[in-house]
Structure 1
Amino acid sequence: MSGRSALVRRTGLIAVGTVIALAVSVGSVGASNVGVGLSEQSVGAAIPVWLSLAMGGGAVGTSVLMTVLITNREHVERFRTETVGVSVDRFRTSWRLVFGTVGVATLVLMLVVGVVGPQIGSFSITVLLTFVGGRALLTIVAYTVGNPWPALNPWRYIATALPNGYLSYPSWLGSWPAVGALLVLLCLEAIAPLTTSPRALVAVILAYSVFTIGGAVVFAPDSWFRNADPISAWFRFYSAVAPIQRTAGGLEVRYPGARLTDDDVVSDISEIAFVLLLLWELTYSAVIATAPGVRTVETLVGIGLAPQFVYLGLLLVGFGLFWKGFLITVTSARCRAESPLSQREVAFRFASPLLAIAAGYHFAHYAGFSLSLWPSLVDTIAAPLNPPENPTQYLLTSWFGYVEIVGILFGYMLSVWVAHAVSFNLLSGKRRAIRCQYPFIAVMIVLTVVSLLLVTATPVEPVYVPS
């Protein structure tokens, strides 16, 4: 066996093994409540295992056939490049005024009511707007329609109104501040009572406001919110999946996921890290709500480690495994295709298809959560200081679990198609373009099957999470 063949086989086996280990936690994505401490109806357990595997097998088979049979470069290029432009110049000023006012007013409302209003999470507009309105519903809008955040971002409007731009943003920093800040926010979500104590959440919002407004004032809003602000990066990457995209001239309508084939979606190592963190944060919130995850936490705490340190360690170790697994897969793909491209370029271009998987995971994770709790959000918006004693909450039907499965499968299938389009754009020759995809398809097959096997798992409450 040649050295190159041995390398390919070894890296492929390591990649699959790594993904299997990580995917064990992904399957409960439809059952966990993302650690937010807000009640959500679990419907995943109603789905028979055989049906989950049948649906997953059908999706995987369709995806593989698609990559093998659809090799007409004209069709692939049409998917990548066809757009319909929409001019919004006449509305730009009025939109900024309306949405900017809404964004700033909402931030002020959340801060005030979080301090003087009800101090129970499910009764607090501060908690519900943060987790149901922002992290769930607004993110779903971002990847199904288009990015709403630039129009609403209150911190950007505040920073723009202040003197700013004292220093140039260092290019070597990239998006690492956004990666670090998101890791901090995810860790705080696990170890701090942010969903049960509105005042604790207000403290985090204030600290975040100082961080991001201060950075935007020093480095100028355009540079800061394009690179270093984690919430802006969150919505920017998720919205790359959407059919409606913002351009310098207005808006353009493309095929869903077509933006992911562009070479400027991911253009820095730090942006790869942020994309992988979007995938890992969904997996992480499932890890700590599964029986193996709970046993792991209890074991580590039992040997004398602080719970906060355990949750932080799991967050960082899992993120590191995702990073290593991705690099191994990229190396294997480059070797199989005998690509003249550098490993960095291959990594940049094949990181963006992962955003389609992240969108599918997010939908499975948050669709039921959003539907169940949005009436409570409406009730608290109507009377933020005196909400109903029993805010409305919908009970989801048993068949909604199928909707969650469809979300996961659609994300995988779109990711496979985008990777197919990227490989044909990068490489000459059909055989090389198809061979380049094999490691990514193998990883996606393993993730799909294992996640669908475990989506029926019964969720458990995370331990040592403050209430």
Structure 2
Amino acid sequence: MAAISKPFGRQIIRSRAEIGVPVLLLAMFGTVLPAAAHTTSNAFVLLLPTGYYQFGGTLAVALSVIFIFLVPPRMLAEGFRRRVSLGAIPVPSSLWTSAVAATGLSFLILAGFLGSPDPRANPLPIAIWSLLWVGFTFLQALFGDLWHFCNPWHAPYRLLRRLMGTRDGWLTYPAWLGYWPAVLSFFAIAWFELVDLAPDDPTRLAYAVLVYWAITLIGMLLFGEAAWLARGEALTVFFRFMAALSPFATTEIAGTKRRLVSLGWPGERLLRLEPLPFDGICFVLLTLGTVSFDGLSKTFWWLALGGINPLEFPGRSAVVTLNTFGLLMLWLLLVVCYVLCCGKEQAKAGRQALSIIPIALAYHFAHYLTVLLVDGQYALKIASDPLGLGWDLFGTAGLYVTTSFLTTYHSVVTLWNLQAGAIVAGHVMAVVLAQVMHNAGDDVRRWRHLPLALLMILYTLFGLWLMSTPSAG
């Protein structure tokens, strides 16, 4: 993918409007929650002059801390929880939609083994890393729990149970296991994406997807569908948190195939979730830590730790051990710092961790927007010839994939503003959620949250450094 050189980036943002507006917005809508840069060759780095950018970001977060301290959380709670009914809609059977999803996944795995070895010509890498991990995450956060209908395990599991004549789960899911299976599997997914030698290789990815699908199905057989998917399967847990950001919510109408739809404030559904246990906090912080490490792993500073010249990067094989260690250590450091700063407010920690989710989505959008715009075109192209046999099923096989929006002035400005706007919106949502979740009735208890606020300020500085420091790739 085409990259934007720093001189060109600085030329763009030297416009008064383009410097003043983002800095003003950041100053107005900053938050105490961490801002984690996700800077790779597939993302735009927001190239403001480093000193002004870090000062503006730090000031924004400091003002957010003051704002949260002065405004009682209960003031927004009642209004924030209000919803407007939009009527009833019919819903399809999740059994049939899951069967379609499982069939599609089977075809993608087959294409990974038999299709083109070129990741840009094979549908599996595009479908997994771009359409599912990127595009579907956005849809989930916008429209709600679509994953309930697209889950590729529901229908196969029901069929397997019918053929085997077994009950739902052979064992009782142990309470001590908690979210740890989801934490382990999410770490494995992140490691495969960020550290593995060739995560885009179709055959390699096909084996990984097949193994993951089988492990999930085995977990469902052992502990039951609902129990395993609720805490043991990483994608379901991750998408459930993303769906809680949606302004839409549905309620089943007993005895019918229709659901009532209501509209509320984005993120309001996070307030309905139970406070997370320690393992749940670890899961949320892992989603944040992986985003942060993706940026850190490409900085000149990090590569220098491994004795690697970033201007002559030898490839992923040279940093497998270093990046594995770094990914694990950054996550553990986040967990330790978060727990220490929460102190005796461990019950609050489980709820406050949920307010980090909007920040994770905002940076997910900011990082992956250009990926989706480019790979979406490749998806249309591949759809006409998924197995590389010279077909043109939909007339898009000859589609010209353009990256002009990565090089033209106005397109780059538009994309930059969309990314910055998403980050600001995520911060605003997080501030409101943090206020409502705080729910502290006296100043003494509220002072106890200052260590956590300080941690978030420092972590924001770390994120701003990631976005401004030179990086390779």
- TM-score clears 0.5: yes
1:403 corresponds to 2:418: yes
Deviation at 1:275, TM superposition (A): 0.5
In the alignment, which of 280, 304, 323 is matched to residue 295 of structure 1? Answer: 304
Q: Please tell me whether the aligned partners of residues 45 and 457 of structure 1 are also in contact (alpha carbons under 8 angstroms).
A: no
Q: C-alpha displacement at 1:241, in angstroms?
A: 2.0
Query: 2:116 is paired with a residue of what secondary structure?
Result: coil
Q: Name which of 307, 327, 334 aligns with 2:339.
A: 327
Instruction: Confirm or deny that 1:370 pairs with 2:352.
Output: no
Give the aligned partner of residue 32 of structure 1.
40
3-state SS, counterpart of residue 44 of structure 1? coil
Instruction: Output the CA distance in 2 between the equivalents of 1:148 and 1:390.
Output: 29
Instruction: Tell me, yes or no, if the aligned pair for 1:177 and 1:229 is still in contact at 8 Å.
Output: yes
- Are residues 181 and 57 of structure 1, via their aligned partners in 2, closer, same or farther at CA, if it must alter by over 3 Å? closer
Structure 2 contact 36–288 (Cα < 8 Å) conserved? no
State how far apart, in whole Å, the 1-side matches of 2:303 and 2:422 are: 26
Residue 249 of structure 2 aligns to a residue whose secondary structure is strand
- What do you get for the CA RMSD once the two structures are aligned? 3.1
2:242 is the alignment partner of 1:238: yes
Aligned residues of 1:165 and 1:219 also touching (Cα < 8 A): yes
| The 10-residue stretch of structure 1 (400-409 or 274-283) with the greater mean CA deviation from structure 2 | 400-409
**Residues 242, 436 of structure 1: CA spacing in aligned structure 2 closer, same or farther, 3 A cutoff?**
farther
Q: Which moved more, 1:102-111 or 1:397-406?
A: 397-406
Contact kept in structure 2, 1:167 and 1:218, CA below 8 Å: yes
1:329–1:126 distance in 2 versus 1, CA, 3 Å: same
Say whether the 8 Å CA contact 1:169–1:219 is kept in structure 2.
yes
Q: SS of the counterpart of 1:312?
A: helix
1:416, distance to aligned residue in structure 2 (A): 2.4
The match for 2:214 is 210
Aligned residue number for residue 135 of structure 1:
133
* Residue deviations 1:77-134 (CA, integer Å, cap 9, x gap): 321x21235665x623x25256324312320121111111111112111000001101
Q: Which residue of 2 is the match for residue 3 of structure 1?
A: none
Of 150, 153, 164 in structure 2, the residue corresponding to residue 152 of structure 1 is 150
Task: Report SS of the residue matched to 1:352.
Answer: helix
Which whole-Å CA distance do the structure 2 matches of 1:446 and 1:253 have between them? 36
- Say if 1:442 and 1:407 are closer, same or farther in 2 by CA, change over 3 A: farther
Aligned to 1:398, the other structure's residue is in SS state helix
Tell me what 1:91 maps to.
90
Q: How does 1:106-121 map to 2 (within 5 A)?
A: 106-121=104-119
Change (3 A) 1:441 1:344: closer
Aligned amino acid, residue 346 of structure 1: K
For residue 355 of structure 2, the aligned residue among 350, 353, 356 is 353
Displacement over 6 Å in runs of 4+: 299-302
Q: Which residue of structure 2 aligns with residue 444 of structure 1? A: 456
Which of the numbers 238, 254, 258 marks the counterpart of 2:268? Answer: 258
Q: Which has the higher helix share?
A: 1
Q: Confirm or deny that 1:221 pairs with 2:225.
A: yes
Structure 1 pair 276–456 and aligned structure 2 pair: CA distance change class (3 A):
same
Relative to 1, partners in 2 of residues 1:298 and 1:138: Cα closer, same or farther, differing over 3 Å? Answer: farther
Structure 2 residue 471 is matched with structure 1 residue 459: yes
1:416 correspondence with 2:431: yes
SS at match of 1:245: strand
Higher mean Cα deviation, 242-251 or 131-140?
Answer: 242-251
Residue 57 of structure 1, CA deviation: 5.7
Q: Deviations over 1:150-198 (max 9, x none)?
A: 1101122211222142222112211111111111222222343444410
The one-letter code matched in structure 2 to 1:82 is: R
Relative distance call for 1:444 and 1:158 in structure 2 (3 A) is same
Q: Which runs of 5 or more structure 1 residues have no equivalent in the other structure?
A: 1-22, 34-39, 335-342, 462-467
Distance verdict in 2 for CA 1:67–1:192, change over 3 Å: closer
Report the Cα distance in structure 1 between the residues aligned to 2:273 and 2:46, rounded to whole angstroms: 40
Provide the identity percentage.
22
Q: Work out the CA distance in 2 between the residues paired with 1:309 and 1:453.
A: 24
Paired residue secondary structure (1:162):
helix
Aligned length: 411
Query: What is aligned with 1:269?
Result: 278
Tell me: CA distance 1:401–1:459, structure 2 relative to 1, closer, same or farther (3 Å).
Answer: farther
Q: CA deviation at 1:363?
A: 1.6
State the distance in 2 between where 1:49 and 1:168 align.
54
Q: Matched residues in 2 for 1:139 and 1:316: separation?
A: 24
The one-letter code matched in structure 1 to 2:104 is: T
Kept in 2, the 8 Å contact 1:167–1:219? The answer is yes
The CA deviation at 1:432 is 4.2
Q: What is the DSSP-based 3-state SS (H/G/I as helix, E as strand, rest coil) of the residue aligned with 1:168?
A: coil
Match of 1:11 in 2: none
Cα deviation, residue 310, structure 1: 2.5
Asked if structure 1 preserves the Cα contact closer than 8 Å seen for 2:362 and 2:423, the reply is yes
Tell me which moved more, 385-394 or 372-381: 385-394
Answer yes or no: is the 8 Å Cα contact 1:419–1:437 preserved in 2. Answer: no
Q: Deviations over 1:208-267 (max 9, x none)?
A: 011001111221111111110111011112222221235555454321122233351x43
**One-letter amino acid matched to 1:60:** V
Shift of 1:46: 4.6
Deviation, structure 1 residue 437? 4.1
Local SS of the residue matching 1:321: helix
Distance between the aligned counterparts of 1:433 and 1:239, measured in 2? 31
Equivalences for residues 73-92 of structure 1 within 5 A? 73-79=74-80, 81-85=81-85, 91-92=90-91
Deviations 1:382-437 (A, max 9, x none): 3212375786143333322333233233323322221111112xx323x2464344
- Taking structure 1 as the reference length, the TM-score comes to 0.79
- Which of the numbers 81, 89, 102 marks the counterpart of 1:104? 102
Contact kept, 8 Å, 1:66 with 1:417, in 2: the verdict is no
Aligned to 2:25: none
Change (3 A) 1:150 1:367: same
Distance 1:435 1:108 in 2: 54
Q: C-alpha separation between the residues in 2 aligned to 1:53 and 1:144?
A: 31
Contact 1:126-1:198 within 8 A present in 2 as well: yes
